[in-house]
Amino acid sequence: MNKVDLVTTYYQAWVNKNITTLKDELLDDKFGIRNFFENVFFDLNDIEKEFLKFDLVSFNVLNIEEQDDILYCSLELKYLYKNTNLEAEVITKFIFKNDLIIRVYETFDNPKCSRVKCIASYDGSTFSGFQRQPELRTVQGDIEKGLKFLTGEDITIQSSGRTDKGVHALNQVFHFDTLSMIKPDNFWRVLNSYLPDSIHIKSSSKQNKTFHSRYDVFSKEYMYVINHKEYNPIMRDYEWFVPNFDIDLLTEELHKIRGTHDFTSFTKAIEDKVLVRNIIDVKIKKTDTHLYISIIGRGFLRYMVRYLVGTLIEIAQNKTDLSIIDYINMKNSSEVKWKAPSCGLYLKEVIYYE
């Protein structure tokens, strides 16, 4: 079956609520779907539950563009949601592997809007985290205020993920939709004029409307900075001073976290339902004064990197006889009490599916 036929069959399966057809088209359990309601599905059981929430009545394919293993299409959809008949124009991005569907990204189409992707750096010590919060200064809040002054629009930005109070970013990614006539490639330059010195937009670019800063992430790299030589009060908001620990032991333990594990022990956040995460790689760089620890993964639980680094330091100071794998295997957050301070943590890089 060619890619165009796969797409047609895919939407017909949603009309017919045919989970068997979808199973034949999707790549085993490695697929991901984000529909135009921005609900995300990674298994067939979740799709079957979605079948109960709304009915796709019919679809009409308006346009298709094929690029190697990626296919973009625009469609008219008629659907029944909460007993109401609705119509929508949707843009969909399909990604294929081994002639099967591995990713589906849908979004409502507004032809007058442009989707702009930005890469930003910021000093987290001056903010109460990234996410907008009432009566608190946040990175998202300041950027959205800047966009309001610049465009006159009430714009909500979507980021690759939240960073907590005091956490910094070297390459945070966010996107937004705008009616502005400013060229997307020039947005970074103009927007910086409306932002505080603690935030800097490094680049901006126009994206297909199926792009999403959060849902399309392939991997993130967090870097933690430790000063192991001499306390520096000027840098107290940008590193963690830890003078005495076994760097070789820390390095050995760090490499043990690579792979897929249940990281229940390393988060206190109750909103995370799936606690299994995949660590793609770890890196460590040592200088005469500093240690730079990088952890690269598909995704992270809240506080996960800080609890991992805090526990690694505890082990490297010989304050516990257990290894990092022992704490992972416990799957008990009450056993891990050591959270590294936010000042040393940086969101270093975000990589996206092509």
The Cα 121–Cα 200 span in angstroms is 5
Q: Which of 154, 176, 207 is the last residue of a domain?
A: 207
Residues with catalytic function: 164
Q: Are residues 182 and 97 in the same domain?
A: no
Three-class SS of 270-336: CCCCCCEEEEEEEEEEECCCEEEEEEEECCCCCCHHHHHHHHHHHHHCCCCCCCHHHHHHHCCHHHC
- Domain count across the chain: 3
Judge if 300 and 225 occupy the same domain.
Answer: yes
Least Cα distance to 262 among 273, 246, 271, 248 occurs for: 273
- Tell me whether residue 233 is in a domain: yes
Judgement on whether residues 101 and 119 belong to the same structural domain of the protein = no
239 lies in the same domain as 339: yes
| Residue 213 within a domain | no
Predicted local confidence at residue 168, as pLDDT: 98
- Determine the pLDDT at residue 111: 87
Domain end among 207, 227, 250? 207
Is residue 227 domain-shared with residue 334, that is, in the same domain? yes
Does some domain include residue 134? yes
| CA 66 to centroid of chain Cα atoms | 26
Nearest-CA neighbor of 315 among 260, 259, 247, 268?
247
CA distance 144 to 153: 9
Task: Indicate if 103 and 24 belong to the same structural domain.
Answer: yes
Question: How far is it, in rounded angstroms, from Cα 231 to Cα 242?
Answer: 8
**Domain membership flag for residue 352:** no
pLDDT at residue 272, rounded to an integer: 63
**Residue 212 counted as domain residue:** no
Evaluate whether residue 354 is within a structural domain.
no
Give the structural domain span for 157: 114-207
Helix (H, G, I), strand (E, B) or coil at 346: strand
* Shared domain check, 142 and 83: no
> What's the confidence (pLDDT) of residue 271?
65
Q: Is 218 exposed, middle or buried (0-12, 13-18, 19+ CB in 10 A)?
A: exposed
Distance from C-alpha of 51 to C-alpha of 81, rounded to nearest angstrom: 11
Give me the CATH number covering residue 310.
Answer: 3.30.70.660
- 180 and 118 share a domain? yes
Q: DSSP string of 78-147?
A: EEEETTEEEEEEEEEEEEEETTEEEEEEEEE--TT-EEEEEEEEE-GGGSS-SS--TTS--HHHHHHHHH
Q: Do both 44 and 15 map to the same domain?
A: yes
Task: Give residues with Cβ within 8 angstroms of 16, minimum separation 6.
Answer: none
Q: What is the pTM of this model?
A: 0.90
> Are residues 264 and 199 both part of a single domain?
no
Could you tell me if 100 and 112 are in contact, meaning their C-beta atoms sit under 8 angstroms apart? no
CATH number at residue 121: 3.30.70.580
Asked if residue 291 is part of any domain, the answer here is yes
Q: Is residue 350 in a domain?
A: no
pLDDT computed for residue 278 by the predictor: 95
Would you state the pLDDT for residue 159?
97
Nearest CA to 103 among 217, 205, 16?
Answer: 217
- Whether 14 and 103 map to the same domain: the answer is yes
**Pairing outcome for strands 217-227 and 240-241:** parallel
Q: Which of 105, 160, 153 is nearest to 130 (CA)?
A: 160
Which residue numbers in the chain have pLDDT < 50?
none
Same domain, 53 and 163: no
Residue 24: CATH number of its domain = 3.10.450.50
Give residue 170's pLDDT.
98
